[in-house]
Amino acid sequence: MSVLALCGGVGGAKLAFGLAAEAADLTIAVNTGDDFEHLGLTVCPDIDTVLYTLSDLADRERGWGLAGETWGFMAALARLGGETWFQLGDHDLATHVERTRRLAAGDSLSAVTAHLARALGLKPGIVPMSDQPVRTHLLTDTGELAFQPYFVRERCAPVVRRVRYQGAATAAPSPGFAAALARPDLTAIVICPSNPYLSIDPILAVPGVREALQHAAAPIVAVSPIVAGQALKGPAAKLMAELGVEPGVEAVARHYAGLIDGLVVDTADAGAVPTIEALGVRALAVPSVMRSDDDRRRLARDALAFAATLSQSRARAG
Amino acid sequence: MSVLALCGGVGGAKLAFGLAAEAADLTIAVNTGDDFEHLGLTVCPDIDTVLYTLSDLADRERGWGLAGETWGFMAALARLGGETWFQLGDHDLATHVERTRRLAAGDSLSAVTAHLARALGLKPGIVPMSDQPVRTHLLTDTGELAFQPYFVRERCAPVVRRVRYQGAATAAPSPGFAAALARPDLTAIVICPSNPYLSIDPILAVPGVREALQHAAAPIVAVSPIVAGQALKGPAAKLMAELGVEPGVEAVARHYAGLIDGLVVDTADAGAVPTIEALGVRALAVPSVMRSDDDRRRLARDALAFAATLSQSRARAG
């Protein structure tokens, strides 16, 4: 079974963990719209979350960063009057320093990411959506903000009116992502339960990605990041409301309609299945909240089995 | 009392600590020949040792770096297959990251150093010998080595035939150093007990420094880093032997003869005073091993009092 997953940070990475356990051949294309330069270092929060989650080094309680992290660097930086709004743990910092050093030496983000994944003993292909910088910007009531200042420094408080993916127009899918998109033997394409606007749309904004997905032979299944009108993590529901969309799985279905074949929703949203299917999107309601490794694997199995049932209809439509 | 000190790392920084306590107006010009780019960061080991020693943040037992240091970054970097021969503590790393960020933003090394000193609450002027990069290289039996690979990675094992100060010819004294050198009201110039070849000669190699010292009205006193034929710290004695010089205070006197007015040696070397004075260098034998803050302050007082006795003779010679 060969699977391509599109993935953002925390929630998406949990499903990617499950997919890695269930699919022998997995490529994970990761959002880089959250990437930023901080203290002279290139920080790729979603790639790192995927790396740390798949290698089981992630801190499960805090919900971000590495387990057993220490904060000596931040304390010393504060003493020197440095910028401390973005927390960089001592262990996490090694990832950013090593990445920045390799990028400065001329390696592509793909090559650096592949190196880090190899060093951590990971088998799936983990590829950035693009090797060119794409930066998610939020046009808010108080002005334009880059992603991390909006997300971390302002704690998502400003009201968002529009989302822009700076640099997307001139970016290209990374070689590994392009290759996966073009594979005729793909069994399924899974859009992980990540924020549609902030984690998945930047990937879809890279020229050629949406078209490649539309022409893919494999069925495309998304897993809703919204459960019972709430985002399990992050600002997805708040953002939907600000963008004039009623937060809910119906909105997720509408957002992806025309692109996906099926949407996996939580059993809490089983009542929305008819509405979703009326949009031309098949729907499956299963337990989708991932608290344990078992949850991650079961949801991955459910999504892949669901995709298998959709491959016939996609073949007919294609 | 206004004092200018020339200083390298550990031993020199201890005397600088003493001088800071004894002289109301102190400028410390620090060797930058050991500086290097590592993992994309600009590391200035001697400046940092001076900053950490004067702010009493230095680890006194280990002899380098910060007290209470942690090593999460190094452990994580090793896991990622990064370069680990140069130990960077988590707290220490903040200095290098903040310095590198400010240099990249266009600040001079002088400005960055002044910022760091201010952040640590230090009163003395701490200035790099130059804002242009000067890099100490060792021509050894096994090839040419930059300072840190020689000093840290190879643990000073290669036999040194010659020392080069790359970039020195086109460097200039930093503005703060030049200003201190030109001050007519200097009471004393102190060459701290640092390695003559690796810590002080790079400073003297910056064009104009040696001439300014020769024309300075203030007496110049050096404190020997060699006690009873041994370096208290580092490779000074080994290096002297390799360069064909009998390690001892006489060799230190010969090295600085024509530049300094007086040399402070340890009481263990009191017997060498006549030989030193025969070279035209006045000599003072006092306890010079600095184990406590009191030792540091007493040696500083001794060196400054010694300089005061020499100012008459220098005035006559000038």
ipTM of the complex: 0.91
Residue A315 has pLDDT above 80, yes or no: no
- On whether any CB of chain B is under 8 Å from the CB of A76, the answer is yes
Which region among A223-237, A241-255, B105-119 has the lowest average model confidence (pLDDT)?
A223-237
Q: Minimal CA–CA distance to B237: which of B197, B264, B277, B289?
A: B197
Contact call for residues A260 and A221 (beta carbons, < 8 A): yes
Contact call for residues B8 and B53 (beta carbons, < 8 A): no
CB contact under 8 A, B90 and A72: yes
Q: Does some domain include residue B106? A: no
Q: Does some domain include residue A39? A: no
How far is B36 from B264, CA to CA, in rounded Å? 31
Give how far the C-alpha of residue A219 lies from the chain's centroid of Cα atoms, to the nearest Å.
19
- On whether any CB of chain B is under 8 Å from the CB of A73, the answer is yes
Mean pLDDT confidence for A12-21: 98
Q: Kindly state the percentage of chain A with pLDDT values over 70.
A: 98
Contacts of A116 in chain B (CB under 8 A): 80
CB contact under 8 A, A73 and B94: yes
Q: How many residues does chain B have?
A: 318
Contacts of A41 in chain B (CB under 8 A): 97
Contacts of A101 in chain B (CB under 8 A): 39-40, 82
Interval A227-243: pLDDT, tens? 999 887 788 889 999 99
Q: Minimal CA–CA distance to A11: which of A318, A277, A264?
A: A264
Interval B170-219: pLDDT, tens? 999 999 999 999 999 999 999 999 999 999 999 999 999 999 999 999 99
Secondary structure letter of residue B193 according to DSSP: S
Contact call for residues B188 and B213 (beta carbons, < 8 A): no
How far is B222 from B228, CA to CA, in rounded Å? 16
- Regarding beta strands B143-146 and B135-140, do their DSSP bridges make them parallel or antiparallel, or are they unpaired? antiparallel
How far is B218 from A206, CA to CA, in rounded Å? 68
Minimal CA separation from A46 to chain B, in Å? 18
Q: Please report the pLDDT score of residue B136 as a whole number.
A: 96
Minimal CA separation from B32 to chain A, in Å? 21
Contacts of A120 in chain B (CB under 8 A): 79-80
Q: Does some domain include residue A239? A: yes
> Cβ-count burial of B32 within 10 angstroms (0-12 exposed, 13-18 middle, 19+ buried)?
buried
Q: Please report the pLDDT score of residue A317 as a whole number.
A: 56
Q: Does some domain include residue A257? A: yes
Residues 6+ apart with CB under 8 A from B213: B181, B189, B204, B220, B259
For residue A113, what is the nearest residue in chain B, using CA coordinates? Answer: B80
Mean pLDDT over the full length of chain A? 95
For residue A90, what is the nearest residue in chain B, using CA coordinates? Answer: B73
Interval A292-307: pLDDT, tens? 999 999 999 999 999 9
Q: Please report the pLDDT score of residue A44 as a whole number.
A: 98
Q: Does some domain include residue A104? A: no
Confidence of residue B318 (pLDDT cuts 50, 70, 90): very low
Interval A46-70: pLDDT, tens? 999 999 999 999 999 888 899 999 9
Mean pLDDT confidence for B77-96: 96
Q: Please report the pLDDT score of residue A316 as a whole number.
A: 47
Can you give the CATH number for the domain in which B187 is found? 3.40.50.10680
Contacts of A82 in chain B (CB under 8 A): 94, 97-98, 101
Residue B155 has pLDDT above 60, yes or no: yes
Contact call for residues A127 and A161 (beta carbons, < 8 A): no
Residues 6+ apart with CB under 8 A from B139: B160, B161, B162, B163, B164
Minimal CA separation from B70 to chain A, in Å? 7
Interface test with A, best of B90, B103, B107, B122 (most A CBs within 10 A): B90
Confidence of residue B61 (pLDDT cuts 50, 70, 90): confident
Q: Does some domain include residue A105? A: no
How far is B220 from B313, CA to CA, in rounded Å? 11
Q: Supply the range of the domain harboring residue B238.
A: 2-34+127-140+165-317
How far is B21 from B1, CA to CA, in rounded Å? 12
Interval A90-100: pLDDT, tens? 999 999 999 99
Give how far the C-alpha of residue A88 lies from the chain's centroid of Cα atoms, to the nearest Å.
20
Interface test with A, best of B66, B97, B116 (most A CBs within 10 A): B97
Residue A314 has pLDDT above 80, yes or no: no
Interface A–B counts its CB contacts (< 8 A) at 100
Q: Please report the pLDDT score of residue A318 as a whole number.
A: 47
Q: Please report the pLDDT score of residue B315 as a whole number.
A: 56
Q: Please report the pLDDT score of residue A120 as a whole number.
A: 97
Contacts of A79 in chain B (CB under 8 A): 94, 119-120
For residue B40, what is the nearest residue in chain A, using CA coordinates? Answer: A101
Q: Kindly state the percentage of chain B with pLDDT values over 90.
A: 90
Work out how many domains chain B is built from and give that number: 1
Secondary structure letter of residue B64 according to DSSP: S
Q: Kindly state the percentage of chain A with pLDDT values over 90.
A: 90
Give how far the C-alpha of residue B34 lies from the chain's centroid of Cα atoms, to the nearest Å.
10
CB contact under 8 A, B94 and A76: yes
Q: Which helix (H) or strand (E) holds B226?
A: strand B226-227
Burial B151-175 (b: 16+ CB within 10 A, else e): bbeeebebebeebebbbbeebebbe
Q: Please report the pLDDT score of residue B193 as a whole number.
A: 97
* Alpha helices, H only, chain B: 10-22, 45-54, 72-79, 90-104, 109-119, 147-148, 175-182, 201-204, 209-215, 236-242, 249-256, 273-278, 293-317
Interval A66-90: pLDDT, tens? 999 999 999 999 999 999 999 999 9
Interval B223-258: pLDDT, tens? 999 999 988 778 888 999 999 999 999 999 999 999
- On whether any CB of chain A is under 8 Å from the CB of B92, the answer is yes
CB contact under 8 A, B97 and A70: no
Minimal CA separation from A80 to chain B, in Å? 5
- On whether any CB of chain A is under 8 Å from the CB of B67, the answer is no
Minimal CA separation from B40 to chain A, in Å? 5
Nearest to A40 among B74, B90, B97 (CB): B97
- On whether any CB of chain A is under 8 Å from the CB of B31, the answer is no
Contact call for residues B34 and B46 (beta carbons, < 8 A): yes
Q: Does some domain include residue B68? A: no
Q: Please report the pLDDT score of residue A233 as a whole number.
A: 78
Interface of A with B in 118-147 (CB under 8 A): 119-120
Residue B77 has pLDDT above 70, yes or no: yes
End-to-end CA distance of chain B: 21
CB contact under 8 A, B97 and A77: yes
Residue A283 has pLDDT above 80, yes or no: yes
Q: Which two tokens stand for residue B18?
A: 């003493």
Q: Does some domain include residue A87? A: no
Contacts of B77 in chain A (CB under 8 A): 94, 97-98
Which region among A119-128, A186-195, A308-317, B127-136 has the lowest average model confidence (pLDDT)?
A308-317
Mean pLDDT confidence for B151-168: 94
How far is A202 from A205, CA to CA, in rounded Å? 5
How far is A86 from A141, CA to CA, in rounded Å? 23
Confidence of residue B316 (pLDDT cuts 50, 70, 90): very low
